Structure 1
């Protein structure tokens, strides 16, 4: 079934089936949370196949040229593919209340509007007009260094990655890794066991953590460990646009 057509089933309806209170608790506790089976295998295959068609994209980045790791990725151009656009606009309203609560807890003045269209208008008014959803492609020996996806003044503090390939069948290795640096402590690593069609929500930059003397900010980075064999594709959904 074509990935574009399955949006008729309603990405928004799919996302509403998840327990968002529990997901918020996971994000508060660990900085990440999983959405199992968000996309079907056929949708994953259709999205991964888009990588070969330059018409969908505004740019291609070869990671080794920039010291980002090994592998490559392409940023989608506007208009986004229907399924990608639907995921972005439908997930945002579920995440905005969490983002606003996090900012309030961390003493940050920024608040996020109720809809993604309103937030994108804010980005575009500030000169952040380039779309940031992307497809990533890894082959044997490829990896993604720990990083943060910050593209300008306006940053939405949560993002989503969806694994389009099946571990153990399409590739070996290539685990999604999240690290968290707490003040005066060594970094904590989290390995997220994604399967094909599963999504991980995670903090882009900082999140609040409750300590014995109140809340404080912790810094997060994410990446992908070395792919030992095969090929791995991922869809990245970033909610702010780039300068």
Structure 2
């Protein structure tokens, strides 16, 4: 596989993902993203799909690398980066989500005075990434057990970074695990940080700002800095899949 088109899922896969996402209120989604830097999409995946994705974790043929967080000071837990081609479900959702998120991202960049504008098709943005030397896929599958956590961080893998990413909870809270909440923090200039804990059920997705987002102030828009992480898992095992839209160096 050399051409960017080799990394794009087939049209029927994308069409199925687009149909899956068609029922959501994307205007309300954009408003929530603008107000809080994150927004949830309820029930994107069904329980069987969640279990099937989580079951991929020990199957090394699907992944390009395996990271143990403690070795790098990232927290405690582990994750694997998928390799291309992505599983059909993830590839289809990545492509189908792109135009919805690109609209928000373009609005944010305009408000923040950033020249970067994102194309209508995800393939065109991947082409930009690859021309910049960012060719490694970034969607990942994370696994936590009791005592594990993910430190607050930002997923920036090169000069080109799409400002929104999406995480899907694959495990069922209260049955598969306890604790392990998704946490987002926001630092506004000359103010103390604000924390947002996002409750998720199995199959839910949360979209959130990777780095900066605009906030309307009395003198116009200003940038706030965001980081995300996962609080300590108290019991059981928690799996999450993350879709990042820029490739890495």
TM-score under structure 2 normalisation?
Answer: 0.94
Q: How does 1:51-200 map to 2 (within 5 A)?
A: 51-200=57-206
Where do 5+ consecutive residues of structure 1 fail to align? 1-5
Structure 2 match to 1:13:
19
Structure 1 match to 2:219:
213
1:202 counterpart SS class: strand
Once superposed, what is the RMSD of the aligned Cα atoms? 1.2
Give how far 1:214 is off. Answer: 1.0
Q: Distance in 1 between matches of 2:124 and 2:23?
A: 24
Label 1:8 to 1:66 Cα distance change in 2 as closer, same or farther (>3 A): closer
- Please, which of 235, 242, 246 is the counterpart of residue 240 of structure 1? 246
- Please, which of 50, 53, 57 is the counterpart of residue 47 of structure 1? 53
- Please, which of 217, 230, 236 is the counterpart of residue 230 of structure 1? 236
Where do 5+ consecutive residues of structure 2 fail to align? 1-11
Give how far 1:8 is off. Answer: 8.6
Structure 2 match to 1:34:
40
Q: Which runs of 4+ in 1 moved over 3 A?
A: 6-9
Q: Distance in 2 between matches of 1:219 and 1:185?
A: 12
Give how far 1:10 is off. Answer: 1.1
1:113 counterpart SS class: coil
Q: Distance in 1 between matches of 2:78 and 2:187?
A: 27
